[in-house]
Amino acid sequence: MLRIVNPATLDLVREIPCQTADDVTAAVQRARAAQPAWAALPTRERGRALRRLAARLLGDEELIETLVAESGKPRYEAELIELFYTCELTRFYTGRVGRRALRDDVRHPLIFANKKARVVYHARGVVGVIGPWNWPILNNFADCVAPLLAGNAVVLKPSEWTPLTSLRVQTLWRESRLPPDLFQVVTGQADAGRALCAQADMIFFTGSQAAGREVARTAGERLIPAVVELGGKSAMVVLADADLPRAARAAVWSGFAHSGQVCIRTERVLVEAPVADRFIQLCSDEIHRLRQGAPPRELGAPVALDVGAITFPRQITVAKEHIADAVAKGARVVTGGSAPGDLPGQFFAPTLLAEVTPEMKVMREETFGPVLPIMRVADAEEALRVANDSTLGLSGSVWSGDAARARALARRLVSGSVCVNDALVNYFCVEAPLGGVKQSGLGFRHGPESLRQFCRVETIVEDRAGLRWLSAIIGRQLMFPYRARTLRAVRWLMRRLYG
Catalytic residues: 229, 263
Task: Specify the residue, 403 or 432, whose C-beta has the smaller distance to ligand NAD.
Answer: 432
Residue nearest to ligand NAD (CB): 193
Supply the minimum distance, in Å, between the C-beta of residue 265 and ligand NAD: 8
List residues binding ligand NAD (CB under 6 A).
Answer: 130-135, 139, 157, 159-160, 189-190, 193-194, 197, 206-208, 211, 214-215, 229-232, 263, 312, 366, 368, 394, 436, 441
Report the C-alpha dihedral over residues 19, 25, 26, 32, rounded to 10 degrees. 130
In the complex, the smallest distance separating the C-beta of residue 31 from ligand NAD, rounded to whole angstroms, is 17
* 134 or 335: CB nearest ligand NAD: 134
- The least CB distance from residue 103 to ligand NAD, in Å, is 28
Closest CB to ligand NAD among residues 263, 374: 263
CA distance 473 to 485: 14
Question: Strand 12-16 and strand 2-5: pairing?
Answer: antiparallel
Question: Considering the complex, what minimum distance in angstroms separates the CB of residue 261 from ligand NAD?
Answer: 8
Closest CA to 148 of 169, 175, 117, 118: 169
Please say which residue, 354 or 387, places its beta carbon nearer to ligand NAD. 387
CB of 437 to ligand NAD, least distance (A): 11
Please name the residue ranges forming H helices in 103-222.
142-149, 164-175, 190-199, 209-222
Sequence-distant (6+) residues with CB within 8 A of 407 are 398, 420
According to DSSP, the residues that pair with 116 across neighbouring strands are 462
Q: CA 376 → CA 62, 75, 239, 368, distances in Å? A: 46, 35, 11, 22
**Least CB distance to ligand NAD at residue 313 (A):** 11
Closer CB to ligand NAD, 14 or 116, in the complex: 14
Pick 94 or 417: Cβ nearer ligand NAD: 417
* Max Cα-Cα span within the chain: 91
H/E element, 35: helix 21-39
Peptide bond just before 358 cis, omega within 30 deg = no
Contacts of 42 (CB under 8 A, 6+ apart): none
Between 193 and 336, CB nearer to ligand NAD: 193
Is the distance from CB of 93 to CB of 53 less than 8 angstroms? no
Distance (Å, whole) CA 62 – CA 84: 16
Q: How far is the CB of 256 from ligand NAD (least distance, A)?
A: 15
Q: Based on CB atoms, which residue is closest to ligand NAD, 201 or 366?
A: 366
- Strand stretches in 179-287, DSSP E: 183-185, 202-206, 226-229, 235-238, 268-272
- Residue 321: Cβ within 10 Å count: 14
Q: How far apart are CA 446 and CA 88, in angstroms?
A: 11
Our CB check for ligand NAD shows the closer of 118 and 217 to be 217
Chain center to CA of 378: 33
Please, which residue, 133 or 347, has the CB nearer to ligand NAD?
133
Specify the 3-state DSSP secondary structure of 409.
helix
Q: Closest distance between ligand NAD and the C-beta of residue 76, in Å?
A: 19
What stretch of H or E contains 333? strand 332-335
CB of 206 to ligand NAD, least distance (A): 5
Q: How many CA atoms lie within 13 A of 279 on its CB side?
A: 33
Per DSSP, 460 falls in state E
Residue 213 C-beta: closest distance to ligand NAD, Å: 9
| Exposure b/e, 68-103, CB count within 10 A at least 16 = b | bbbbbbbbebbbebbbebbbebbebbbeeebbebbe
Q: How far apart are CA 227 and CA 416, in angstroms?
A: 14
Say how many CA atoms lie within 13 Å of 190 toward its Cβ: 7
